[in-house]
């Protein structure tokens, strides 16, 4: 039986469940589920009457024909949840009315599913296979709950009309598609159907076939535990893998359980201090792109190009997220940042709104929605940055990166330092052989206030690439040194606060303030922009100082040398705080920022480093009696697997078999002759050559055994156990594939023997 709580759901009273009815039984093929959201504030819509739908938050209305297909998908998701709740209620109470309503609903979907053609993206209930899978996963759990209450005729109609048709429709997308979390949903979908239908072939297709083996699922994560779809999706994927572990039970094995524990620990490392995940735009990075890279182990999530700088200040934890790596899907901005201090997010990245948001195409997919620099008002090129320097684990933490070709002929750098007081020092530099217009932007937590005269300038910023989404634009003449304050009102989790930006820039700039969209609510995101026109080079220094309400902040003065920032290749930044002075040197030639004074604060301190595999102190062993009472027998060690195979090979006739083994330092296919207590004899160029057992590697013994015992599953289990390690994954998969053809029970036994 499947676990009935893969997702936390309310246990709705039976009387309330029985009042509901199916909503999605129609001849309409659904659209994307996110389309049934308000385009202004992203709230789920509600059907007002037969002709209109309305947003319950802002009141905006939509004609029924405009949202009909999206509404249909929403209805079918509701039906899936309702049918699953009925199945759980039947298991909990034995109420036959719940079982009958669930069975009738499943029969209705089994009737209509085959009537739909494949949609543009291989869905049937909806246009998209992944949307279908979300719905069907709930219906599979519903069927599991009422399975015993179905007649044989009902089971046949539901299984053949719905579930087996679903597998035929979506199976081609798995496992090699561009949605990592989609891979997991598909494996869960096909595997759950196999469990409920008691079909070992479907279980094999979902989990045990070589290209879908359990361990292959974990290639969706970098060695440091981060999802290639970026932290936005990381939680979803870990929850899905937890669901696999529950569904597979003993088949999951120790390997699987340890991996899940490691991913949960990695998840904590991707969070801000309030538990939230970074809001940078997500990316649909596919299996092929992910596997083509050679990611290194990292404490800073190098594989996705995200670095966290962290400090524990007297005002609480501070954290600066810097996204410097490969562009993500719907991600128009390079080098975006997110800053958390004073128990709240003071600088937000653009992020990604729902696809239906009216500014999705005009704001969220464009560079102006992030916190960096636009060149000539155009989006950034689709290129990733390169990390040039980082200093982590010290009282002062630094990260520097560069991107060549931010725009045609334009190279850019960003240097960042986080001080122990929670103050951020930011240095940006651009260089080109031709003059350009540079727009440097920063999105604040509240309205920006500057000691300048700003006048309304509607339309002054441009009409493309994000500018069109700006409102309340004001402009004024800039100064080489500016101080801008963004105030947060009270009532938030962190309380009233101010973010003060000390800005140093070349002379001749224009300053703009404006309101941009802020994501999932109708509230605008205040933006500050510095514009420099006709320049070949640009350098901007910003020191960001958070302070609670009615406090003056830490920074008293900021100076930068030389005065001509645009012409300099190296800058010296002096930051005067109330009790300490910091001096930094930023070099655009070397791509490094280094601390000049005070000394000693750039020395890393001892800290625990995450690893590609869990590294933890094992607990003290329990008493032997407790182990015997509560623990299953330990799997045989590698030596025992090998001893079993050597004994079987000595007792077998090997003549006529061939295997790939290491001979004289190279791997060759050789003819096997015989084996005795001392060696395995192979024939090379007409001569019988003994290969001593002590000189044969475990992988050689596994290959010989696979060649000789291809019809003996009890021995292939030992061969599969010896074929361990990433370099032998293909051999291990072939053995497991053959085992499942011969004896699925032995295949599951091999899966349980796999180590972490």
* Better pLDDT: 264 or 671: 671
In this structure, what token pair is assigned to residue 363?
Answer: 């704001």
Residue 519 has pLDDT above 70, yes or no: no
DSSP lists the bridge partners of residue 62 as 53
Burial degree of 16 (CB within 10 A; 0-12, 13-18, 19+) = exposed
286: pLDDT strictly greater than 50: no
Least confident of 361-365, 519-523, 692-696, 736-740: 519-523
Angle value at C-alpha 634, between 629 and 636, nearest 5 degrees = 150
Share of the chain above pLDDT 70, in %: 76
* Range from 181-185, 492-496, 666-670 carrying the lowest mean pLDDT: 492-496
Q: The pTM is what?
A: 0.68
Asked if the model's pLDDT at residue 66 lies above 80, the reply is: yes
Q: Which of 49, 65, 142 is nearest to 99 (CA)?
A: 142
Give yes or no for residue 292 having a pLDDT over 60.
no
Q: Kindly report the average pLDDT of the chain as a whole number.
A: 81
- pLDDT at residue 615 greater than cutoff 50: no
Q: Which two tokens stand for residue 14?
A: 């039976």
Q: What's the rounded mean pLDDT across residues 236-261?
A: 63
Question: How far is residue 272's CA from residue 318's CA, in Å, rounded to a whole number?
Answer: 9
Contacts of 492 (CB under 8 A, 6+ apart): 344
Phi, psi values for residue 279, rounded to 5°: -100, 15
pLDDT at 22 over 90: yes
Residue 195's pLDDT band, with cuts at 50, 70 and 90, is confident
pLDDT at 81: 93
* Among the ranges given (89-98, 173-182, 424-433), the one the predictor scored with the smallest mean pLDDT: 173-182
Mean pLDDT within 728-752: 78
Q: What is the DSSP letter of 30?
A: B
pLDDT average, residue stretch 545-559: 91
Residue 684 token pair: 């090379």
SS3 54: strand
Average pLDDT over residues 209-217: 59
First to last CA, the chain: 26
Q: How confident is the model at residue 454 (pLDDT cuts 50, 70, 90)?
A: very high
Q: Pick the more confident residue, 356 or 199.
A: 199
620 pLDDT band (50/70/90 cuts)? very low
If you average pLDDT over each of 135-139, 274-278, 632-636, 685-689, which comes out highest?
135-139
From 251-255, 635-639, 670-674, 719-723, the region with the lowest mean pLDDT: 251-255
pLDDT of residue 219: 61
Distances from the Cα of 333 to the Cα of 46, 325, 374, 378, 720, angstroms: 34, 11, 9, 11, 47
**More reliable by pLDDT, 414 or 34:** 414
Mean pLDDT of 399-405: 94
pLDDT tens across 530-539, in order?
Answer: 999 999 999 9
CA distances in angstroms from 705 to 596, 719, 722, listed in the order given: 64, 6, 10
The whole-number pLDDT of residue 496 equals: 85
Residue 148 has pLDDT above 60, yes or no: yes
Q: How many CA atoms lie within 13 A of 110 on its CB side?
A: 21
> pLDDT at residue 351 above 70?
no
Pairing, β 397-407 against β 448-449: unpaired
pLDDT at position 626, please?
A: 34
Please give the pLDDT value at position 694.
Answer: 83
Give the model's pLDDT for residue 133: 92
- The answer, yes or no, to whether residue 460 has pLDDT greater than 70, is no
Query: Which of 170-184, 441-455, 722-736 is predicted least confidently?
Result: 170-184
Three-state secondary structure readout of 386-450: EEEEEECCCCCEEEEEEEEEEECCEEEEEEEEECCCCCEEEEEEEEEEEEEEEEEEEECCCCEEC
Mean pLDDT of 476-498: 83
Element (H, E) at 512: strand 510-517
Q: Tell me the average pLDDT across 104-120.
A: 94
Would you state the pLDDT for residue 398? 95
Give the mean model confidence (pLDDT) for residues 38-60: 88
Lowest mean pLDDT across 180-189, 415-424, 651-660:
180-189
d(CA 305, CA 327): 9
The proportion of the chain whose per-residue pLDDT surpasses 90, expressed as a percent, equals 41
The residue with greater pLDDT, 3 or 341, is 341
Distances 98 to 149, 158, 429 between C-alpha atoms, Å? 10, 17, 66
Strand runs (DSSP E) across 549-623, as ranges? 555-561, 570-577, 581-587, 592-597
Q: In the structure, what pLDDT confidence band is assigned to residue 625 with cuts at 50, 70 and 90?
A: very low
Query: Where are any strands of DSSP class E within 638-727?
Result: 658-663, 666-675, 679-684, 687-692
Question: Please, which pLDDT band fits residue 293 given cuts at 50, 70 and 90?
Answer: very low
Q: Which residue has the higher pLDDT, 699 or 687?
A: 699
The sign one gets for the Cα dihedral 127, 129, 130, 132 is: positive
Structural tokens at position 102: 């669930």
pLDDT band at 527 (very low <50, low <70, confident <90, very high): very high
Q: What 8-state DSSP symbol labels residue 210?
A: G
Taking residues 695-722, what's their average pLDDT? 89
Rg (alpha carbons) of the chain, rounded to whole number: 31
DSSP 292: T
Mean pLDDT of the region 341-363: 77
| 665 band by pLDDT with thresholds 50, 70 and 90 | low
Least confident of 38-47, 163-172, 283-292, 735-744: 283-292
**376-389 confidence digits (pLDDT tens):** 988 888 888 888 99
Strand partners, 594: 585
């Amino acid at each position: 039986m499947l676990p009935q709580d893969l997702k936390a759901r309310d246990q709705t009273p039976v009387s309330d469940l029985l009042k509901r009815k199916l909503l999605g039984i129609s001849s309409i093929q659904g659209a994307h589920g996110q389309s049934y959201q308000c385009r202004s504030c992203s709230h789920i819509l509600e059907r007002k009457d037969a002709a209109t739908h309305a947003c319950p938050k802002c009141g905006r209305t939509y004609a029924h024909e405009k949202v009909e297909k999206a509404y249909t998908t929403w209805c079918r998701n509701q039906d899936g949840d309702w049918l699953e709740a009925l199945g759980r209620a039947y298991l909990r109470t034995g109420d036959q009315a719940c079982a009958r309503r669930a069975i009738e609903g499943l029969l209705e979907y089994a009737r209509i599913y085959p009537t739909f053609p494949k949609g543009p993206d291989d869905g049937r209930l909806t246009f998209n296979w992944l949307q279908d899978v979300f719905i069907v996963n709930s219906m599979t759990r519903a069927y599991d709950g009422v399975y015993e209450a179905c007649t044989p005729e009902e089971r046949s109609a539901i299984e053949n009309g719905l579930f087996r048709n679903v597998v035929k429709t979506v199976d081609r997308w798995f496992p090699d598609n561009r949605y990592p979390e989609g891979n997991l949903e598909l494996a869960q979908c096909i595997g759950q159907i196999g469990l409920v239908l008691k079909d070992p072939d479907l279980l094999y297709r979902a989990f045990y076939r070589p290209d879908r083996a359990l361990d292959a699922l974990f290639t969706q994560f970098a060695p440091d535990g981060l999802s290639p779809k970026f932290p936005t999706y990381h939680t979803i994927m870990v929850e899905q893998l937890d669901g696999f572990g529950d569904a597979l039970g003993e088949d999951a094995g120790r390997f699987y359980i340890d991996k899940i524990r490691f991913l949960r620990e990695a998840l904590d490392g991707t969070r801000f201090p309030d538990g939230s995940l970074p809001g940078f735009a997500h990316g649909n990075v596919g299996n092929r792109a992910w596997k083509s890279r050679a990611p290194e182990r990292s404490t800073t999530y190098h594989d996705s190009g995200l670095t966290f700088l962290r400090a524990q200040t007297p005002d609480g934890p501070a954290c600066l997220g810097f996204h410097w790596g490969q562009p993500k899907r719907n991600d128009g901005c390079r080098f975006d940042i997110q800053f958390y201090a004073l128990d709240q997010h003071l600088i937000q990245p653009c992020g990604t709104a729902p696809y239906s948001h009216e500014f999705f195409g005009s704001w969220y997919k464009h560079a102006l929605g992030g916190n960096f620099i636009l060149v000539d008002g155009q989006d950034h090129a689709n290129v990733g940055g390169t990390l040039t320097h980082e200093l982590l684990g010290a009282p002062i933490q630094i990260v520097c990166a560069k991107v060549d070709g931010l725009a045609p002929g334009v190279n850019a750098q960003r240097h960042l330092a986080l001080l122990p007081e929670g103050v951020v020092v930011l240095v940006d530099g651009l260089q080109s052989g031709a003059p350009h217009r540079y727009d440097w932007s920063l999105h604040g937590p509240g309205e920006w206030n500057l000691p300048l005269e700003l006048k309304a300038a509607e339309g002054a910023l441009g009409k493309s690439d994000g500018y069109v989404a700006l409102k309340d634009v004001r402009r004024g003449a800039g100064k080489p040194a500016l101080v801008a304050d963004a105030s947060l009102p009270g009532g938030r989790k962190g309380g009233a606060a101010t973010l003060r930006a000390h800005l140093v820039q070349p002379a001749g700039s224009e300053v703009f303030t404006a309101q941009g969209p802020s994501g999932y609510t109708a509230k605008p995101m205040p933006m500050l922009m510095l514009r420099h026109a006709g320049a070949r080079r640009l350098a901007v220094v910003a020191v960001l100082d958070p302070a609670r309400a009615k406090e003056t902040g830490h920074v008293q003065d900021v100076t930068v040398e030389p005065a001509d920032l645009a012409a300099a290749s190296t800058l010296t930044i002096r930051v005067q705080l109330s009790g300490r002075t910091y001096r930094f040197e930023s070099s655009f030639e070397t791509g490094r920022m280094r601390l000049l004074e005070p000394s000693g604060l750039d020395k890393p301190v001892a800290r625990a480093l995450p690893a590609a595999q869990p590294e933890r102190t094992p607990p003290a062993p329990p008493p032997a009696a407790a182990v015997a009472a509560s623990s299953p027998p330990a799997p045989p060690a590698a030596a025992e697997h090998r001893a079993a195979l050597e004994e079987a090979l000595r007792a077998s006739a090997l003549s006529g078999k061939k295997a790939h083994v290491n001979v004289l330092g190279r791997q060759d296919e050789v003819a096997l002759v015989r084996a005795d207590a001392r060696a395995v004899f192979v024939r090379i160029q007409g001569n019988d050559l003994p290969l001593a057992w002590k000189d044969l590697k475990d992988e050689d013994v596994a290959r010989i055994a696979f060649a000789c015992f291809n019809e003996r599953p009890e021995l292939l289990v030992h061969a599969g156990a010896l074929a361990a390690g990433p370099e032998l994954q293909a051999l291990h998969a072939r053995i497991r594939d053959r085992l499942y053809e011969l004896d699925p029970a032995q295949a599951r036994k091999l899966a349980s023997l796999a180590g972490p």
